[in-house]
Structure 1
Amino acid sequence: MSDLVFDAVSVHYGHRRHGLTAVDGASLTVPSGQVVGLVGESGSGKSTLARSAVGLAPVSAGRVLLDGTDVRRLRGRHRPLQMVFQDPYSSLDPRMSIGDSIAEAMPREAGRGADRRRSEIARLLEQVQLDPDRAQMLPGQLSGGQRQRVALARALAGRPQVVIADEITSALDVSVQGAVLNLLRDVQRQLNLSMLFISHNLAVVRYLSDHVAVMYLGRIVEAGPTEEVLGDPRHPYTRELLASLPGHDSAPLNGTGPPEAADTDPHHPPSGCRYHPRCPVGPLVHADRTVCRTRDPAEGAASRPHLAACHFAATDDLPYPTLLRGDRTP
């Protein structure tokens, strides 16, 4: 079993009163052997939540658990949880050969002996569909797609139980994004890895993920099986993300919905529902829905469809787009 659990995790930067809470009480489970897609616009806290699992962001409250053990108690260089970062150009040391970069991440027993080390490097490069002869090359001699494959091989060198992939195709040319995504899907299935896949692209998340979670302003606002969430979204923010996808006739909901809609300041989030200042079914449109301004919808999320943090998640106030498995390829 390799469940990764974010248990009411908060990440706060700066002074208590004047700092920024990038993640606020987020709870999410990545089940063993499955892929959870985490989506949301830039600044929603996706990457910060991921970084909290590998010790790159300070956990101010809550816990990150791997098979019931707090990840902060995992000692040693080779942890069972590895991360592949967004930018393939900065995630590798430009002065080290790609073989040395991969070897650096190996458990001690795997890299013991020159022949064994070379054999393991070759195996990992082949696993990510790169010629083992490239082991002596520097990162600057590779394309962006090849570098990202090396970054994946480096993560796999640690023999992880869980991999976190943070926007790993967003910096790549469109022509190579699909190949990297197919590789990631194949490797996850072959090794039965648990995976947290972070993206702003719902179509890509639908392609890879068994479950999807939607994040807004530091909080998880909707989560569930991918087909259910994207086929019947319950939170208006999820509907907005779907409406913004290319090919949908609907305009983004916040562009045509409530008058005086405005983005919120993450340093000073609004009371009640954090989405209400731009919500197309909230108090800016329905004056009687004052509950959105005063009560946190997360309190009753467990009883709503898809754990939606919306007081009116079960209502159908306006038509909305869907994204089912047969609708789109990445």
Structure 2
Amino acid sequence: MSGLVFDRVSVRYGHGRRGLTAVDGASLTVPSGQVVGLVGESGSGKSTLAKSAVGLAPVRGGRVLLDGTDVTRLRGRHRPLQMIFQDPYASLDPRMTVGDSIAEAIPRAALRGRTARRAEVERLLEQVGLDAGRASLLPGRLSGGQRQRVGLARALAGRPGAVIADEITSALDVSVQGTVLNLFREVQRRLGLTTLFITHNLAVVRYVSDHIAVMHLGRIVESGPTKEVLADPQHPYTRELLAAVPRRSATPEDVGRVEEDVREPADPHHPPDGCRYHPHCPVGPSVRDDRELCRTRDPGTEAASRAHRAACHFVTAPSTAGLEAGAPGNAS
């Protein structure tokens, strides 16, 4: 399997003052055969970064490399990347049978002849835990969990070098979310799929990911091995995300305090200078007079020299070799 690299990727919608830079020079590495969980609040640019890799978002700068090939330049050709979308009800054509939807994703050069393609569809359905007889059904005859399984089968049909999973359980009933996650993790490990897993749920990231990257206002602000980042977060934004997760022992008063502490996110149309998190940072210049440089200097330029490649001026140098420059999950 191939490694997936986002190299200083920028995505901008519109022009002039009304334009929006949804992703701003973000760099991220998904090592071959591993899962990188990408987290951040709504509007941080997670899904936009993912869409840049599959041709669904306009890349204005940077590259998306898969096994050294810039996939953003593969015009009109089959891309060796597949995406599993958030909404299983909208990701499948309601007028096409399940089998036809999966068969459509199989590269023409991979299999020829109806018999061979039909057999491949049946194999893929069985691989995701669905009976081969489901191939003749329309998506409307399936449950949400079953449709998401079809979405996974369709992604595998494309013979991908890497897979992007975008909030694949958030639109499902709680009762089936765990089943779909277990299936995804089993398939990923069995096939060794290189995977970018996007979610806002830190518990899910802990469960499925080898590495974690945290995104804020279009930039990666912290990244590293999942266990290390969640156990010892370096960036204030990451610590805020973890603090906002209700604990099992939390009282209603605790949850209420978390809701009160949630700040209005910054306007992506007018991102602040310097560190983009500084207006909301609980240890930044708004509360500490000795940290005025946060208002003017971008901390991302020296992130490679810090623990977890954190985009924060006040993080110490990494203490372990696993967090050296070039390790998985390069910060922007």
Alignment TM-score > 0.5, same fold: yes
- 2: CA distance, partners of 1:8 / 1:26: 5
1:17-49 Cα distance to aligned partner (Å, 9 max, x none): 331000000000011000000000000000000
- Aligned partner of residue 62 in structure 2, secondary structure: strand
Matching residue's letter, 1:24: D
> Which moves more between the two structures, 279-288 or 92-101?
279-288
Instruction: Give, in angstroms, the shift of residue 289 of structure 1.
Output: 1.1
Query: Matched residue pairs, number?
Result: 312
Q: What is the percent sequence identity of the aligned residues?
A: 75
SS of the aligned residue for 1:278 comes to coil
Aligned to 2:119: 119
From 287, 308, 315, the counterpart of 2:289 = 287
Report the alpha carbon displacement of residue 314 of structure 1 after superposing the two structures with TM.
Answer: 3.5
Q: Give the TM-score, by structure 2 length.
A: 0.90
The answer to whether the 8 A contact 1:167-1:199 is kept is: yes
Question: What is the aligned partner in structure 2 of residue 278 from structure 1?
Answer: 280
Match of 2:45 in 1: 45
| Aligned-partner Cα distance in 1 for 2:264–2:94 | 43
2:229 aligns to what?
229
Q: Superposition RMSD on alpha carbons, in Å?
A: 1.8
The one of 255, 264, 267 equivalent to 1:265 is 267
Q: What TM-score comes out, normalization by structure 1 length?
A: 0.90
The answer to whether the 8 A contact 1:83-1:165 is kept is yes
C-alpha separation between the residues in 1 aligned to 2:110 and 2:264? Answer: 54
For residues 160 and 266 of structure 1, what CA distance do their matches in structure 2 show? 33
Q: Give the distance between the partners of 1:110 and 1:62, measured in 2 at CA.
A: 31
**Aligned letter for 1:219?**
R
CA drift of 1:312 comes to: 1.6
Give the conservation status (yes or no) of the 8 Å contact 1:298–1:310: yes
Instruction: Report what 2:65 is aligned to.
Output: 65
Q: How does 1:101-116 map to 2 (within 5 A)?
A: 101-116=101-116
2:66–2:161: 8 Å Cα contact kept in structure 1? no
8 A Cα contact 2:274 2:298, kept in partner: yes
The structure-2 alpha-carbon separation of the partners of 1:253 and 1:172, relative to structure 1 and needing over 3 Å to count, comes to closer
- Show structure 1 runs of 5+ residues with no match: 316-330
C-alpha contact (below 8 Å) 1:110/1:120 kept by paired residues:
no
Code of the residue aligned with 1:287 in structure 2: it is: D
* Structure 2 residues without counterparts, runs of 5 or longer: 318-332
What is the CA deviation profile of residues 40-67 of structure 1, one whole-angstrom value per residue up to 9, with x for unaligned ones? 0000000000000001101111111111
Q: Which of 308, 312, 315 does residue 314 from structure 2 map onto?
A: 312
Change (3 A) 1:5 1:197: same
Separation of aligned partners in 2, 1:254 and 1:63: 38
Matches within 5 A, 1:67-216: 67-74=67-74, 77-216=77-216
| 1:122-160 alpha-carbon deviations (Å, 9 max, x no partner) | 100000000001110000000000000001100100111
- The letter for the 2-side match of 1:280 is P
Q: Is the 8 Å Cα contact of residues 240 and 254 (structure 1) preserved in structure 2?
A: no
Off by >6 Å, runs of 4+ in structure 1: 250-254
